[in-house]
């Protein structure tokens, strides 16, 4: 059985449901509502374990944990030419590369 502890779990508050919501990034269609955050986390983890068990039993592909994926550190983004020009000018004025400027903006 796959180790579902490696998945990315998060608990947030839902004002609409007036409850804590347990979520799993690798399985965005799943959620678990509970009164306490600890219960929401326990609930989503149990739900994910059951889903993975069912997927394996049915021979369906199981999502790979985000933490175990390899990332190149590169991705392509399309932006309007005028925005590209503005960013190049800003990078030039700051004396940095366009890549460094955009990387800093993304991490801010």
pTM for the complete prediction?
0.75
* Confidence category of residue 16, pLDDT binned at 50, 70, 90: very high
**Which domains, from first to last, does the chain contain?**
4-67 (3.30.160), 71-107 (no CATH)
Asked if the model's pLDDT at residue 22 lies above 90, the reply is yes
Asked if the model's pLDDT at residue 26 lies above 80, the reply is yes
Please count the other Cβ atoms lying within 10 Å of the Cβ belonging to residue 98.
14
Looking at residue 1, its pLDDT comes to: 64
Q: Please give the C-alpha separations between residue 90 and each of 5, 8, 99, in angstroms, as whole numbers.
A: 43, 36, 12
Looking at residue 48, its pLDDT comes to: 98
* Confidence category of residue 2, pLDDT binned at 50, 70, 90: confident
| Owner of token pair 């009164």 | 35
CA distance 96 to 74: 18
């Amino acid at each position: 059985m796959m180790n579902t502890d490696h998945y990315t779990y998060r608990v947030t508050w839902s004002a609409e449901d007036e409850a804590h919501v347990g979520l799993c990034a690798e399985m965005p269609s799943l959620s678990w509502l509970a009164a306490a955050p600890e219960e929401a986390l326990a609930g989503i983890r149990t739900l994910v374990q059951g889903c993975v068990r069912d997927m394996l039993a049915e021979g369906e592909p199981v999502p790979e944990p985000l933490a175990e994926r390899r990332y190149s550190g590169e991705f392509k983004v399309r932006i309007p030419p005028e925005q590209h020009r503005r960013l190049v000018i800003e990078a030039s004025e700051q004396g940095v590369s366009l890549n460094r400027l955009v990387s800093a903006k993304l991490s801010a």
